[in-house]
Amino acid sequence: MKKSFALPWRNFALLATIILFSVQKGQSQSVPMQYQYQFYQKFNAEVYSIENTAHTASKPFLMDEKLTAKYDSLMTGAPYRSEDSWLYRKIFNEHLFDVRKAEYTFYADPIVDLQLGRDISGNKTTWLNARGFQLGGTIGDKFSFYSSGFENQGRFAKYYDDYVNQLRFVQGQAYDRKHGRTNTKDWSYVTAIISYSPIKQLNFTLGQDKLFIGDGYRSLLLSDYAANYPFFKTTLTLGPVQYTAVWANMQDSNVQQFDVFGNNRRKWTAVHYFDWNITNRLALGFYNAYTAPEADNTGKRRGFDANFINPLFFASSIGPSSQPGNSIAGFTGRYKFVDKHAVYGQVLLDKAKAVGGETKTTTGWQAGVRGADLLGVRSLNYLVEYNKAEPNMYTGAERLSNFTQFGEPLAHPLGNDFNELLGILNYSAGRFDFQGQLMYAKYNLSAFINKDGDLVRTVRPFINSGRDNYNTTLNASMHYAHGTISFLVNPRTNLRVEIGGLYRREKSNIYTTTTTLLTFGIRSSFRNLYQDF
């Protein structure tokens, strides 16, 4: 393909000029609302109302008038009385530091995630000791910022422990600094973003965090399962149309390194997503992503090709000539069949090119239904979802072009070659919250060897004993159940007292593992940490 360096910039300049001169100015939307499934589902009644025209797939949401009223009600909690003490207000209702001026706002809080549990099946005590912070604020009505961080130590249930030991990485967070030296895991986790909206219809976000595309609990396109990563994101909203473009830098610690810049090989990922609200009820989306290694396996850098940052949709799928990699494309749909209830789905196509030059198109799809006020019960939210992906989804000719971050899937936790059915029910009453989840999955954990003899593993890692024989087909199934009861102490930090129970049984043709885990914790922060894999 012929290289083009000038044309993309002319396209972008023209597009930006049209946008800036064709839209009307309004109050900017510059504040991203931190994404956590349990928190976001409390917006189901508003988001999936047939009166609401909000774009629901690209997350985190940008705060606007459609969400502000509900968000404020969730953040207020029980109003304090004038005679309540400063300490009472700070514990139950307010940020520890909270400055609100006409020109700017600022808040900051200490946050913790302290858990104690018992893995009954594994006969071991589990615990988590995470201490951290969150801070954020705004400057004017166009600029906002947010950061959070944790210093962590912990011991996990056996299946989770096996996962960390295999990857040397705590799921979705960071390296285990004490890998191989102790049973206690030790790691850090930090996010930081800045967001700028020059006009209401246009937002730029720069930071180190996670993104999610889809209406479901899982996403086959882009999820928040893997560790956070540096990215630049542009979101353009023109009435019924929303366009999102993301450029991100990923890493892989399990391939040979050729330089001393950092500890890992690096790769670039570009994502385009176009969401069209055809009516208040029906929405269709179009997605593509391209992952390209920074250097080939001989250490030769592939240079920079401006096609990689071309903002035009599907431009990256063509594949920059100097950066051959892995391209995937997909489609999303959502239909509000009655008020507050919607069916949704995804279809994904991945045409992978093997080292030998052969290509094969693999597919995946998702179908689900979700909503609020189930059976007329206020604040009773539900979701039922089915996910499927064929073998070799998300994999490229080189390991470094796999759709992964630090070896973890950027889409579904099970990687590829799986079928999954899950359901989630959540009910809130005052400050009490009840949630239950059931999941059943079947998957293949085999490795694949191409005709050139190079080992190309599936995205999902081998995490338990008995998975070391690469020539053995490992068909496995998993039953998973998880329930929590929590009391919300402070909505500003999502501080809650929580008890939980987890059951997980994984069975293959050569091994069976069972986990029964009971936990108690004092938890805070807005983030998804997954255990259902």
The DSSP secondary structure of 434-493, one letter per residue, reads EEEEEEEEEEE---EE-TT--EE--SS---STT---TTS--EEEEEEEEEEEEEEEETTT
Name the 3-class secondary structure at 346: strand
| Partners of 8 in beta bridges | none
Per-position pLDDT tens, the chain of length 533 = 333 333 333 443 444 444 343 444 444 567 999 999 999 999 999 999 999 999 999 999 998 877 888 898 888 765 555 567 888 888 888 999 999 999 999 999 999 999 999 999 889 999 999 999 999 999 998 999 999 999 999 999 999 998 898 888 999 999 999 887 888 999 999 999 999 999 989 999 999 999 999 999 999 999 999 999 999 999 999 989 999 999 999 888 776 666 555 567 888 899 999 999 999 999 999 999 988 888 766 667 766 566 666 666 555 444 444 556 788 999 999 999 999 999 999 999 987 655 555 677 889 999 999 999 999 999 999 999 999 998 888 887 777 788 889 888 999 999 888 999 999 999 999 999 999 999 999 998 764 333 332 323 334 443 333 333 334 467 889 999 999 999 999 999 999 999 999 999 999 888 889 999 999 999 998 889 999 98
Q: What is the pLDDT of residue 508?
A: 85
Determine the distance from the C-alpha atom of residue 120 to the mean position of all C-alpha atoms in its chain, rounded to a whole number.
30
Pairing of strands 512-523, 455-456: unpaired
Q: Distance (Å, rounded) from C-alpha 154 to C-alpha 531?
A: 14
Question: What are the CB-based long-range contacts (under 8 Å, 24+) for 318-321?
Answer: 318/1, 319/1, 319/290, 320/1, 320/3, 320/292, 321/1, 321/2, 321/3
Distances (CA, A) of 323 to 29, 249, 294, 304: 35, 14, 8, 8
Q: Distance (Å, rounded) from C-alpha 175 to C-alpha 171?
A: 9
Contact between 518 and 118 under an 8 Å Cβ cutoff? The reply is yes
Q: Distance (Å, rounded) from C-alpha 458 to C-alpha 454?
A: 13
Q: What is the pLDDT of residue 322?
A: 52
Q: Distance (Å, rounded) from C-alpha 338 to C-alpha 373?
A: 12
- Residue 42: phi and psi, rounded to 5, are -70, -10
Q: What is the pLDDT of residue 22?
A: 40
Contact between 74 and 45 under an 8 Å Cβ cutoff? The reply is no
Q: What is the pLDDT of residue 17?
A: 42
Q: What is the pLDDT of residue 180?
A: 77
Q: Which alpha helices (DSSP H) does 341-404 contain, by range?
A: none
Closest Cα to residue 132, out of 529, 530, 533?
A: 529
Q: Distance (Å, rounded) from C-alpha 81 to C-alpha 95?
A: 17
Q: What is the pLDDT of residue 189?
A: 94
Instruction: Give the contacts of 509 (CB within 8 A, at least 6 positions apart).
Output: 473, 474, 475
- Count of beta carbons in the 10 Å neighbourhood of residue 507: 14
Q: Distance (Å, rounded) from C-alpha 458 to C-alpha 468?
A: 13
Name the 3-class secondary structure at 84: coil
Q: What is the pLDDT of residue 259?
A: 59
Q: Distance (Å, rounded) from C-alpha 274 to C-alpha 287?
A: 6
Q: What is the dihedral of CA 244, 247, 253, 259, to 10 degrees?
A: 180
Q: Distance (Å, rounded) from C-alpha 424 to C-alpha 427?
A: 10
- Both structure tokens of 67: 């969400």
- Both structure tokens of 395: 């994999």
Name the 3-class secondary structure at 376: helix
Contact between 532 and 480 under an 8 Å Cβ cutoff? The reply is yes
Contact between 399 and 354 under an 8 Å Cβ cutoff? The reply is no
- Count of beta carbons in the 10 Å neighbourhood of residue 258: 15
Q: Distance (Å, rounded) from C-alpha 213 to C-alpha 191?
A: 19
Continuous segment of H or E residues that includes residue 412: none
Q: Distance (Å, rounded) from C-alpha 175 to C-alpha 288?
A: 29
Q: Which amino acid, 461?
A: P
Radius of gyration, alpha carbons of the chain: 23
